[in-house]
Chains A and B, each alone.
Chain A
Amino acid sequence: MNINYLASLIAVIVLFLLVYVGVEAAGLRYFFGVLLPYLAVIIFIIGFVKKIVGWAKTPVPFRIPTTCGQQETLSWIKPAKIDNPTTGSGVFVRMLLEILCFRSLFRNTKMELREGDKLSYEWEKWLWLFALAFHYSFLTVLLRHLRFFLEPVPGCVKFLESIDGFLQIGLPGIMISGIILLAALLFLLLRRILIPQIKYISLASDYFPLFLIIGIAITGILMRYFTRVDIAGIKELTIGLVTFHPTVPDGGIGGLFYVHLFFVSVLIAYFPFSKLMHLGGIFMSPTRNLTTDTRATRHINPWNYDVKVHTYEEYEEEFREKMIGAGLPVEKES
Chain B
Amino acid sequence: MSEPRPDELIRKMEHKPHQKGWMDTPVNIRKGMYCYASNPKSVEYLGLPNARAWNPLDVDWKLPPDWQEIIHKGFRERLDKFRSFKIFMDVCVRCGACADKCHFFIGTGDPKNMPVLRAELLRSVYRNDFTIAGKILGKIAGAREMTIDVLKEWWYYLFQCTECRRCSVFCPYGIDTAEITIMGRELLNLLGLNIDWIATPVANCYRTGNHLGIQPHAYKDMLDFFVEDIEEVTGVKVEPSFNRKGADILFITPSGDVFADPGTYTAMGYLILFHYLKDMGLDITWSTYASEGGNFGFFTSHETMKRLNKKMYAEAKRLGVKWILGGECGHMWRVINQYMDTMNGPADFLEAPVSPITGTKFENARSTKMVHIAEFMADLIKHKKLKLDPSRNDHLKVTYHDSCNPARGMGILEEPRYVINNVCNHFYEMPSNTIREQTFCCGSGAGLNAGENIELRMAGGFPRANAVKHVHQKYGVNMLACICAVDRAALPPLMDYWVPEVGVTGLTELVANALIVPGEAERTTDLRGEELQGKEEAEDA
Contacts and interface: CB of A to CB of B under 8 A. Distances in A.
Interface string A264-290: 000000000111011001101111100
B289 A299 contact: no
Contacts of A202: 94
Interface in B63-121: 79-84, 86-87, 90-97, 99-101, 111, 114, 116-117, 120
Contact of B173 (A278, A298, A328, A329): A278
Chain B binding surface, main DSSP class: helix
A77 to B, nearest CB: 5
B31 interface: no
Interface string B364-404: 11111010000100110010000000000000000000000
A203 B364 contact: no
Interface residues of A, number: 92
Contacts of A297: 367
Interface stretch (A220-228, A242-250, A300-308): A300-308
A159 interface: no
B366 A64 contact: no
Nearest to B288: A328
Contacts of B52: none
B174 interface: yes
A307 B206 contact: no
B93 A70 contact: no
B365 A296 contact: yes
B362 interface: yes
A298 B341 contact: yes
Contacts of A7: 140
Contacts of B412: 70-71, 73
Contact of A281 (B87, B140, B303): B87
A58 B81 contact: yes
B179 interface: yes
A73 B364 contact: yes
A197 B111 contact: yes
A67 interface: yes
Contact of A310 (B87, B100, B207, B432): B207
A21 interface: no
Nearest to B363: A296
Given A294-B338, A298-B345, A329-B244, A55 B87 contact: yes
Interface stretch (B3-11, B309-317, B528-536): B309-317
B337 interface: yes
A198 B375 CA distance: 42
Interface stretch (B193-201, B213-221, B444-452): B213-221
Contacts of A131: 95, 172
Interface stretch (A143-151, A162-170, A252-260, A315-323): A315-323
A197 B110 CA distance: 11
Contacts of B140: 3-4, 7, 204-205
Contacts of A197: 96, 99-100, 111, 114
B354 to A, nearest CB: 13
Interface stretch (A22-30, A107-115, A171-179, A232-240): A107-115
A77 B378 contact: yes
B415 A329 contact: no
Contacts of A204: 137, 140-142
Contact of B216 (A72, A73, A78, A319): A319
B280 interface: no
Contacts of B168: 66, 287
Nearest to B167: A66
A329 B411 contact: no
Contact of A59 (B81, B363, B407): B81
Most buried by A among B173, B220, B310: B173
Interface in B322-347: 336-339, 341-343, 345-346
A299 B117 contact: no
Interface in B285-329: 288-289, 302-303, 306-307, 310-311, 314-315, 318
Q: Name the 8 nearest CB pairs between A and B, nearest first.
A: A71-B411, A281-B91, A326-B217, A67-B411, A287-B174, A203-B142, A288-B174, A295-B368
25 contacts: A3-B21, A4-B140, A62-B302, A62-B339, A62-B342, A66-B168, A66-B176, A67-B410, A68-B437, A69-B413, A69-B437, A70-B411, A98-B172, A104-B97, A104-B170, A131-B95, A200-B19, A200-B22, A295-B337, A295-B365, A300-B342, A308-B307, A309-B314, A315-B207, A328-B243
